[in-house]
């Protein structure tokens, strides 16, 4: 039953108290939470309720009655683009908001109260900072359009110019849209799964100026490619690479695993500090090179290397942090699941004449426990995980290795706080936290954390056998999202994380600490239906988890 505190399509006056994690204004009407994109704390506004859920609602901003002193006129004219969330907020206030995001997560999730959290390090110019742009493409009114998705939809907002991307991205988008239109190139239809041209990706190296253009297609080749290459060569300065990326899967993942070079080199070259990096279409490379140097310099400072340490760099990508650390360490092991990224990392090490680093392909939660079994113990462990945070098997291994220092680089305050809570409870102390504004005018924040091993008298012993590491690793072969995707694809059913955890528990599998259990035995929890239990069991078997 929908809460009657607010009604859909009805207008209300609301006072905004704070900002949500996605940068939307948050207020209350009749003690009922309402999210209002575009509204700021301290403002009084007239809104229209557009969606009502059980515990909260969304409102559309009609007009501002009382304006915040932190409000600024957005430089971008696109009102519905989903690329930025905070262009209407002054940059000084953005930096304060991002620090508060980190504080809230650390206090609420990690339950840590006395941690040093510094002010967010911002940029001198918070625009045109991205070295990578990727845009979906579709057809509107008979013409190709490319840009960001509108918030909470799959409608593409045609973007002629994006103020957080390098200007070359605007030019490349325009060229490809014109090429597609005048040469009758079919555009991918997401709903039907048909059509050829899916996405456009552009990468530009800040220091060298080299440009890579990737055309992502639902096929194996494109017609009139010579015309496209000629247009790009004529109009794009410092064009180094044009590649075709094959993605024939029905998925929202942008890039496929197969890439063909149409023109030039398979990689472009850029620098962070004095280190040289070769970047492929599939490589992970931080999108803000200016702030990347700030971020990695802070990670190096926290590692506090003397030249005698063994370091493990989990989720190492193309080896950027690994190579930063290697010049100050005795030995560095970099672990990354994306094989082309590891190939680039090895090439980057050779390019920079660094020989004391070893790169390994595989999941960090599987490779690092194996290193531990082989007797390799790190003095410093650096983790830079994806948004979902560290796998529990990796956290257990870190606790068992007991390095003197852990440096955690995070792109999500929530999963960061969850993992810090585990590490604090298992032998480590959070010393300090430094937020870095890698993505100005968006709600995202990057964070670097320094943890040290507690004094021997304070340490919590970890009862962790090598057999347990093997079990944990086996049970970590598929994430909850991968299991959900398998069930949806093969059985056309959606299953919740709760149902997956119930089935895993029933089969005697470890479910981890990040999924909620009922607070009491009497709690009323929906039970997984038999048909969904069978589908989940099939998925677990498919991923060799049972």
- Give the catalytic positions in this structure: 411
Strand partners, 213: 202, 242
Please work out, in degrees rounded to the nearest 5, the angle formed at the alpha carbon of residue 87 by the alpha carbons of 81 and 90. Answer: 170
Say if residue 336 carries a ligand binding annotation: yes
**Is there a contact between 39 and 61 (Cβ–Cβ < 8 Å)?**
yes
Handedness of CA 93, 99, 103, 105 (dihedral sign): positive
* Residue 449, phi then psi, degrees to nearest 5: -125, 135
372 is in an annotated binding site: no
Q: Residue 53: which residues within 8 A CB-CB, separation 6 or more? A: 2
- Integer Cα distance of 29 and 38 in angstroms: 17
- Whole-angstrom distance, CA of residue 6 vs CA of residue 29: 7
Are residues 175 and 232 in contact, defined by beta-carbon separation less than 8 angstroms?
yes
184 is in an annotated binding site: no
DSSP 8-class letter at 464: -
Contact 141, 457 (CB under 8 A): no
Q: What DSSP state is assigned to residue 429?
A: E
Determine the Cα–Cα distance for residues 201 and 212; give it in Å rounded to an integer: 8
Q: Up-side HSE of residue 39: CA atoms within 13 Å toward CB? A: 32
Distance from the first to the final alpha carbon of the chain = 39
Question: Of 416, 361, 365, 367, which Cα lies nearest the Cα of 391?
Answer: 365
Q: How many angstroms separate the most distant Cα atoms in the chain?
A: 73
DSSP per-residue letters across 206-247: TTT--EEEEEEESSS--TTHHHHHHHHHHHSTTEEEEEEEE-
State how far the alpha carbon of 192 is from the alpha carbons of 180, 186, 484, in Å.
Answer: 19, 13, 21
315 is in an annotated binding site: yes
Q: Give the CA distances from residue 445 to residues 122, 251, 320, 355, 416, in Å, rounded to whole numbers and listed in that order.
A: 10, 27, 19, 33, 11
Binding residues for S-adenosyl-L-methionine, as ranges, are 286, 315, 336, 384
Binding residues, as ranges, are 286, 315, 336, 384
């Amino acid at each position: 039953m929908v809460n009657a505190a607010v009604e859909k399509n009805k207008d209300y006056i609301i006072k905004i108290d704070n900002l949500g994690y996605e940068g939307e204004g948050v207020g209350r009407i009749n003690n009922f939470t309402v999210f209002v994109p575009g509204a700021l704390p301290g403002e009084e506004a007239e809104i229209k309720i557009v969606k009502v859920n059980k515990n909260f609602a969304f409102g559309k901003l009609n007009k501002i009655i009382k304006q915040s002193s932190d409000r600024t006129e957005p430089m971008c004219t696109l009102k519905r683009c989903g690329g930025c969330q905070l262009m209407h907020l002054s940059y000084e206030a953005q930096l304060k908001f991002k620090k508060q995001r980190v504080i809230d997560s650390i206090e609420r999730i990690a339950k840590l109260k006395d941690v040093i959290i510094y002010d967010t390090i911002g940029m001198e110019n918070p625009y045109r900072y991205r070295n990578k742009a990727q845009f979906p493409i579709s057809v509107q009114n008979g013409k190709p359009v490319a840009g960001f998705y509108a918030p909470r939809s799959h409608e593409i907002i045609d973007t002629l110019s994006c103020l957080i991307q390098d200007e070359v991205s605007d030019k490349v988008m325009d060229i490809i849209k014109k090429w597609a239109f005048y040469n009758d190139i079919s555009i991918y239809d997401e709903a039907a799964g048909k059509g050829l041209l899916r996405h456009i990706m552009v990468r530009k190296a800040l220091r060298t100026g080299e440009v890579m253009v990737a055309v992502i297609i639902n096929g194996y080749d494109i017609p009139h490619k010579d015309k496209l290459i000629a247009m790009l060569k004529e109009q794009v300065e410092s064009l180094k690479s044009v590649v075709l990326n094959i993605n024939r899967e029905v998925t929202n993942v942008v890039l496929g695993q197969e890439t063909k070079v149409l023109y030039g080199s398979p990689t472009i070259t850029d620098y962070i500090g004095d280190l040289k990096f070769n970047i492929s279409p599939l490589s992970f490379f931080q999108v803000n090179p200016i702030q990347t140097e700030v971020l990695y310099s802070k990670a190096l400072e926290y590692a506090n290397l003397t030249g005698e340490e063994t370091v493990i760099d989990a989720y190492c990508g193309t080896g950027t942090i690994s190579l930063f650390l290697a010049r100050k360490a005795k030995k560095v092991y970099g672990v990354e699941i994306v094989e082309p990224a590891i190939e680039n990392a090895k090439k980057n090490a050779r390019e920079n004449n660094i020989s004391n680093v070893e790169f390994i392909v595989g999941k960090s939660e599987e490779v690092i426990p194996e290193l531990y079994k082989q007797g390799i113990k790190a003095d410093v462990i650096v983790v830079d995980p994806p948004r979902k945070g560290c796998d529990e098997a990796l956290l257990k291994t870190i606790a068992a290795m007991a390095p003197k220092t852990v440096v955690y680089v995070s792109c999500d305050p929530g999963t960061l706080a969850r993992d810090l809570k585990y590490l604090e409870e298992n032998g480590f102390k959070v010393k300090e936290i430094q937020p870095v504004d890698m993505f100005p005018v968006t709600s995202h924040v990057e964070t670097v954390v320094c943890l040290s091993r507690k004094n021997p008298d304070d340490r919590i012993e970890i009862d962790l056998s090598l057999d347990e590491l093997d079990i944990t690793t086996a049970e970590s072969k598929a994430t909850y999202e991968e299991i959900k995707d398998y069930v949806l694809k093969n059985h056309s059913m959606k299953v919740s994380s709760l149902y997956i955890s119930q089935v895993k528990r029933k089969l005697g599998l470890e479910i981890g600490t990040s999924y909620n259990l009922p607070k009491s035995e009497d709690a009323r929890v929906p039970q997984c239906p038999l048909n969904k239990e069978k589908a989940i069991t099939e998925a677990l078997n498919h991923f060799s988890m049972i």
